[in-house]
C-alpha cells in the first residue's frame, strides 16, 4: 500500500545562487506607485518585492542551463549551438524547419507577414495580445473561437482552452477562402491559462483537413498543457509528458513559440513548420529583422540554454511541482473567499476583480484598483487583464471588457512556498477591505496598448 502524498509542495530543487530582494515599507510603495502614475508597468523593478507581473522570461535557469551557456558557440553561420538547439526542439516538435527568433512575437510577425493581409481572418481559441496585434497589423482579422465555458469564471470544465469546433466549421464554410491558417494557443493564456485537450486538438485537425487548412500551435506553455492532459484527460494518466507533447505537435503543421515560458529561457523563441515554400519565405524575412537562420535573434549561448531548458521542461517532478504550486496559491485564495477563475490554470492565478470590488463600475477599473492595492499593501506586482487592457475600441470609444481580472503569474522555479504564503496573506488583507478601495480614472493614454504607459489617478 502506498502512503498518501505529503501536503507540502516541495520544490524539486535546492537554491544554488541567491538574488536579494529589496524590502520596502508601505509608505515607500505608496510614493513609488504615485510616482509611476499608478501604472505598475512603470515601476522600477527594485521597488517590487514579489514580482508576479508575468511568467515570461522571469524564471530561474538551472545549474545545467548555466553550464550550457559556457558551451555556446558564437559563430555567425552554422554554429554547433544551433544544431543542438534544433535537435532539442525537434525531439519534442519534429517539424522539418526550425527558425530561431529573439522571442515569440518575432515568430508571429514573420508568420503573419507571410500569411496575413487585408480580407483574411485568422481564428484561434483566444489570440494572445501580440498575436492579435501581429494579425491585425497586416490588415487581417483576429477571431477568438474558444468554447463558451471559457467565459464563465466559475465553470469547472477541465479544458476551458478548447476551440469551439462548430464555430470553426461555420467560419470555414462561410469564409474558408479568407482563412490562411488556424491557430490554437496552448495553454490559453488570455482565457486564464486553461488547457486544450488532445481530443479537441484532434477535432481541430480533422476540421482543418476537411477544409485544407494549415494548423499552427502557439505553444508557449506546451508542457503545462501536456501535464493537464496527463492528469485530466481519460486514457493519458500513465503517459510520458514528452510523448504527449510529440502527439500535440504531430497534429499541427507548425508552431510559434516564446521560449521565455515553458522552455525555461530568459529570452528566445522560434517558428517551426513543415512546408518548404512557406519556410523559405519566413527565413527570408528572418534575415531582414532577426538574423541569419542559424541564430535568428539569439546568441549561441542562448540557443544552448534553451536546448537544456527544453529537456527540463518535460520533467515530471518539475511539472508536478509547477502545477501544484500554482494550484496551491489559487486554492488558498478561493478558500479565503476571494473569487478566482476556476479551475486554476498552469502559469497563473486570475482574481475576479469585478466580483471582489463589486462597488466599482468596470470603467473605474476594478482590476487596476486591486493590482495597485496588492502592490501598496505588500509589494506584490500583478497585472490587470480587463478594461484597462481591452476597453478602448478602435473607434475611440470605451466599454467594459468581458471580465476584469488580475493575473498573478508565477515565474518558474523562482519563488518558494513561503513567498507564496506571503502573497496569500497580502491578498487576504486587501480582500478584507476590498469595499473601501477607490476606483481609478485615466489621466493620459497612448493611442494603442494603453495599459503599458497610461497614467491614472484615484477617483474621489
Which one, 147 or 220, has the nearer CB to ligand F0G? 220
Smallest separation, CB 260 to ligand F0G (Å): 5
Smallest separation, CB 265 to ligand F0G (Å): 9
Query: At CA 381, angle to CA 376 and CA 383, rounded to 5?
Result: 115
Smallest separation, CB 161 to ligand F0G (Å): 10
DSSP string, 161-210: T-B-HHHHHHHHHHHGGG--EEEEESSBGGGTSB---HHHHHHHHHHHHH
How far is the C-alpha of 303 from the C-alpha of 79, rounded, in Å?
A: 10
- Dihedral sign for Cα atoms in the order 351, 325, 389, 368: positive
Which one, 220 or 420, has the nearer CB to ligand F0G? 220
Residue whose Cβ sits closest to ligand F0G: 104
Residues lying near ligand F0G in the complex (CB under 6 A) = 54, 56, 103-105, 128, 130-131, 185, 189, 218, 220, 258, 260, 269
Which one, 328 or 350, has the nearer CB to ligand F0G? 350
Which one, 144 or 364, has the nearer CB to ligand F0G? 144
Smallest separation, CB 6 to ligand F0G (Å): 31
CB 347 within 8 A of CB 326: yes
Smallest separation, CB 83 to ligand F0G (Å): 23
Which one, 28 or 266, has the nearer CB to ligand F0G? 266
How far is the C-alpha of 331 from the C-alpha of 265, rounded, in Å?
A: 28
Closest to 303 measured CA to CA, from 75, 74, 81: 81
Which one, 132 or 236, has the nearer CB to ligand F0G? 132
Smallest separation, CB 188 to ligand F0G (Å): 8
Smallest separation, CB 211 to ligand F0G (Å): 24
Label residue 313 exposed, middle or buried (CB < 10 Å: 0-12, 13-18, 19+).
Answer: buried
How far is the C-alpha of 166 from the C-alpha of 169, rounded, in Å?
A: 5
Interstrand relation of 269-273 and 254-258 (parallel, antiparallel or unpaired): antiparallel
Let me know how long the chain is.
460
Smallest separation, CB 195 to ligand F0G (Å): 12
Which one, 188 or 294, has the nearer CB to ligand F0G? 188
Check residue 79 and report its DSSP letter.
-
CB 353 within 8 A of CB 386: yes
Which one, 29 or 105, has the nearer CB to ligand F0G? 105
Task: Give the number of C-alpha atoms closer than 13 A to the C-alpha of residue 38, restricted to the C-beta side.
Answer: 22
Amino acid at each position: 500500500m502506498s502512503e498518501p502524498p505529503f501536503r507540502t509542495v516541495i520544490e524539486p530543487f535546492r537554491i544554488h545562487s541567491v538574488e536579494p530582494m529589496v524590502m520596502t515599507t508601505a509608505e515607500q510603495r505608496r510614493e513609488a506607485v504615485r510616482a509611476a502614475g499608478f501604472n505598475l508597468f512603470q515601476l522600477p523593478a527594485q521597488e517590487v518585492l514579489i514580482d508576479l507581473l508575468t511568467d515570461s522570461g522571469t524564471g530561474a535557469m538551472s545549474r545545467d542551463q548555466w553550464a550550457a551557456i559556457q558551451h555556446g558557440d558564437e559563430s555567425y553561420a552554422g554554429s554547433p549551438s544551433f544544431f543542438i538547439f534544433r535537435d532539442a526542439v525537434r525531439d519534442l516538435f519534429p517539424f522539418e524547419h526550425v527558425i530561431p527568433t529573439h522571442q515569440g512575437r518575432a515568430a508571429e510577425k514573420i508568420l503573419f507577414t507571410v500569411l496575413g493581409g487585408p480580407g483574411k481572418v485568422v481564428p484561434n481559441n483566444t489570440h494572445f495580445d501580440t498575436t492579435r496585434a501581429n494579425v491585425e497589423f497586416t490588415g487581417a482579422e483576429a477571431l477568438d473561437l474558444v468554447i463558451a465555458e471559457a467565459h464563465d469564471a466559475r465553470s469547472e470544465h477541465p479544458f476551458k482552452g478548447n476551440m469551439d469546433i462548430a464555430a470553426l466549421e461555420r467560419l470555414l464554410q462561410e469564409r474558408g477562402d479568407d482563412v490562411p491558417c488556424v491557430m490554437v494557443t496552448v495553454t490559453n493564456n488570455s482565457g486564464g491559462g486553461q488547457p486544450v485537450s488532445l481530443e479537441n486538438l484532434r477535432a481541430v485537425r480533422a476540421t482543418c483537413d476537411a477544409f485544407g487548412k494549415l494548423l499552427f500551435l502557439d505553444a508557449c506553455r506546451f508542457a503545462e498543457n501536456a501535464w493537464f492532459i496527463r492528469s485530466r484527460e481519460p486514457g493519458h494518466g500513465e503517459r510520458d509528458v514528452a510523448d504527449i507533447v510529440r502527439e500535440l505537435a504531430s497534429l499541427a503543421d507548425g508552431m510559434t513559440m516564446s521560449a521565455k515560458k515553458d522552455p525555461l529561457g530568459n529570452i528566445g523563441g522560434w517558428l517551426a513548420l513543415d512546408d518548404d515554400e512557406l519556410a523559405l519565405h519566413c527565413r527570408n524575412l528572418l534575415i531582414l529583422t532577426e538574423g541569419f537562420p542559424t541564430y535568428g535573434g539569439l546568441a549561441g549561448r542562448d540557443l544552448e540554454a534553451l536546448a537544456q531548458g527544453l529537456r527540463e521542461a518535460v520533467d515530471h517532478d518539475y511539472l508536478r511541482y509547477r502545477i501544484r504550486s500554482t494550484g496551491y496559491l489559487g486554492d488558498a485564495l478561493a478558500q479565503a473567499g476571494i473569487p478566482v477563475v476556476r479551475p486554476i490554470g498552469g502559469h497563473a492565478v486570475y482574481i475576479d476583480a469585478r466580483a471582489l470590488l463589486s462597488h466599482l463600475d468596470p470603467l473605474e477599473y476594478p482590476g487596476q484598483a486591486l493590482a495597485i492595492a496588492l502592490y501598496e499593501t505588500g509589494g506584490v506586482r500583478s497585472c490587470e487583464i480587463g478594461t484597462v487592457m481591452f476597453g478602448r475600441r478602435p473607434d475611440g470609444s470605451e466599454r467594459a471588457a468581458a471580465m476584469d481580472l488580475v493575473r498573478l503569474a508565477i515565474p518558474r522555479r523562482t519563488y518558494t512556498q513561503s513567498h507564496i504564503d506571503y502573497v496569500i496573506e497580502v491578498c487576504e488583507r486587501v480582500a478584507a477591505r476590498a469595499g473601501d478601495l477607490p476606483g481609478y480614472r485615466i489621466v493620459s493614454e497612448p493611442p494603442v496598448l494603453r495599459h503599458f504607459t497610461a497614467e491614472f489617478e484615484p477617483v474621489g
